[in-house]
Amino acid sequence: MVKFLTLGGGSEIGANCYYFNIEGTGIILDCGLHPREKGIKALPDFDLINDLPVDFVLISHAHQDHLSALPFLIKKFPYLKIYCTPQTRAVAELTLHSSVSLIRNQLKEDNIEVYSHEEVDQLIKFIFYKEYDNQFIINGYKHNSTEDISCTFLDAGHIIGSSAILIEFGDNKILYTGDICFHNQNLLPKAKINLKGITTLITETTYGSTDTSKFSIKKEQDKFTSAINKYINGNASILIPVFSLGKTQEMLALLHKLMKSGKIPAVDLFTDGIARKINRIYDYNRYTINYIDSELKIENIPQKRLYQVIHIEKLLKQPCIVLAASGMVLPGTASFKLAQRWLLQNNAAIFTVGYMDPESPGSFIANAKTGGKIHLTPTSPEIEVKCSIEKFRFPSHALRELLLQFISDISPVNIILTHGDESAQDYIGHKLLTRLPNVKLYAAEKGKEISL
C-alpha cells in the first residue's frame, strides 16, 4: 500500500511539502516555506506525520518554497537522511544562511524558534548528494523492508541543480516533477525526461490557467529588447525585480547577449549580494551539467554592486538596469525598497519578468497603470504610480501546452496535481481527463490522504 499526504503547498505555490508512506517507509518530497504567509502558516504542517514513519527527505531544488523549512523539519525529526543534487546542496548552503534574518522576521508572530547559522552549518554536513541520472537505494538499512526503494534525480531544467525525482520499488514508478521546464532558457536547456511505465505522477501546474499556445520566447525577447532601448535611450533607469536564484542568472545572460550583439546599449548593470555568490555556482558547474553556453562565465559579465550605492537617487540619475531581489517584491527586500522610490519617478520603468503570486506586491506592480494608485501591502500608504510599468514573461516553469503533452506521452496510472492555484489545476485536470479517460486524477490538498 502506498499513501500520499500533502503537508504544505498542493493547491497553491507556497510551502511545498509532500509525504509518501511506501509500505512502512516514510519519504518527504521537498520542505518549503510559504514566501507570503506569516508565523505558523508559513510552515508545512509537520504535525500531520507525528505518528507516521519518517525516514528520508528528497529535495528537488533550492528555491525557498521547496527548501527553507528543512531546518524546522530536522529539528523535529533529527534522524532523517536528506538527499539532493550537488548543485542544490551548494545553493542551499548559501540561501539558508542568507534567509536566517528574513525568516526570523517572517515567523516572529507565533514566537517560533528560528534556526541559527550554526544549525545551518550542521545541517549542510548531513545532506547527501547524488548526480543526475545516478540511481541509488535509499532504504538499504531498513531490515524490515520487503524490497528496495531506489531514487534517481533527473534534470528538470528549472534552475541549477533542479530535479524531477523518480522513485522505484517493485513494479511501481513514482515521478515527482518538482518545478520543471520544457523549453530552453538562456543558460539551462529544457528537461529531457522520456519515461514509460510511470504508475504515479506528481506534477506542478504553475501555468495551468495561462494560455501559452501562441507564446514565443523569441518574440518576448524582441519585445523586451525594444522596451530597453526605449527607456535607456530616453535616459531612464530600469528596475527588474528578480529571484536571486535562477532568474538573476538567466536575465544577466540575456542582457549580456543583447549588449554584446549591439541590440541594446551597454549600460551599467547592478546586482546584489547573494545573487553574485550564486553566479559562481552556475559558473563552477557549467561543464558538469547540461548547459547551453559553457564558455559564458556569469562572473565575467560587468556588474556593479547594488549595496555599494548609498543613495538610491544616484541610480535614478543615470540610464542603468538594476536586478534586485526579491522577484515578488516582498517587504524587507531590496526590490521592495527600490520599487517604493521607482514608482514615484517619472523618468523610470519597472519591468516584471517572471511568475508573481497574485497577492504579492510584485503582482500589484505588474498590473498597475501609470497615473493610477496602488498599495504595495494592505497596511502601506497609497502610492501614485508615476513610472512606466512593463510586463514580460520569461518562464522557468513548464508552459501549459508542453506540460499537457509531457503528461499525455508518459500516460501514468495516477496523477496528483500540485503547485498551482485552483483554476490552474481545474484546467489541467479537465484536459487530462479528456486525453487520458482511464487515469485516476487527484488534486493535492493539505491534510488530505490519498491511497494509491
- Which tens digit of pLDDT belongs to each residue from 363-418? 999 999 999 999 999 888 999 999 999 999 999 999 999 999 999 999 999 999 99
* pLDDT value for 141: 55
* pLDDT value for 142: 54
**Pairing mode, if any, of strands 172-176 and 200-204?**
parallel
**Strand, helix or coil at 53?**
coil
Domain 218-391: give its CATH code.
Answer: 3.40.50.10890
Phi and psi of 321, rounded to 5°? -125, 125
- The strand pairing partners of 194, in sequence order, are none
* pLDDT value for 140: 66
Residues 92 and 59 sit within 8 Å (Cβ to Cβ): yes
In this structure, which topology does domain 2-210+396-451 adopt according to CATH? Metallo-beta-lactamase; Chain A (3.60.15)
* pLDDT value for 146: 62
* pLDDT value for 115: 86
For residues 412 and 441, what is the distance between their CA atoms, to the nearest angstrom? 10
* Residue 326, preceding peptide bond in cis (omega within 30° of 0): yes
In degrees, rounded to 5, the angle at the alpha carbon of residue 168 between the alpha carbons of residues 166 and 169 is 165
- Phi-psi map region of 375: left, alpha, beta (phi>0 left; psi -120 to 50 alpha): beta
Q: What is the pTM of this model?
A: 0.95
Number of helical H runs and strand E runs in the chain: 13, 22
**Strand, helix or coil at 400?**
helix
Report the amino acid identity of residue 205: T
* pLDDT value for 110: 74
Q: Where in the chain is the domain with CATH 3.40.50.10890?
A: 218-391
Q: Where in the chain is the domain with CATH 3.60.15.10?
A: 2-210+396-451
* pLDDT value for 144: 57
Low-confidence ranges of the chain (pLDDT < 70): 140-146, 310
For residues 5 and 221, what is the distance between their CA atoms, to the nearest angstrom? 40
Residues 100 and 114 sit within 8 Å (Cβ to Cβ): yes
For residues 86 and 160, what is the distance between their CA atoms, to the nearest angstrom? 10
Cell numbers at 244, concatenated: 536571486
Comparing CA positions, the residue from 112, 146, 117, 152 lying closest to residue 131 is: 152
Comparing CA positions, the residue from 72, 124, 119 lying closest to residue 94 is: 124
Cell numbers at 94, concatenated: 548559501
* pLDDT value for 191: 97
For residues 118 and 122, what is the distance between their CA atoms, to the nearest angstrom? 6
Those residues whose C-beta lies under 8 Å from the C-beta of residue 251, and which sit 6 or more positions away, are: 186, 240, 242, 323, 353, 394
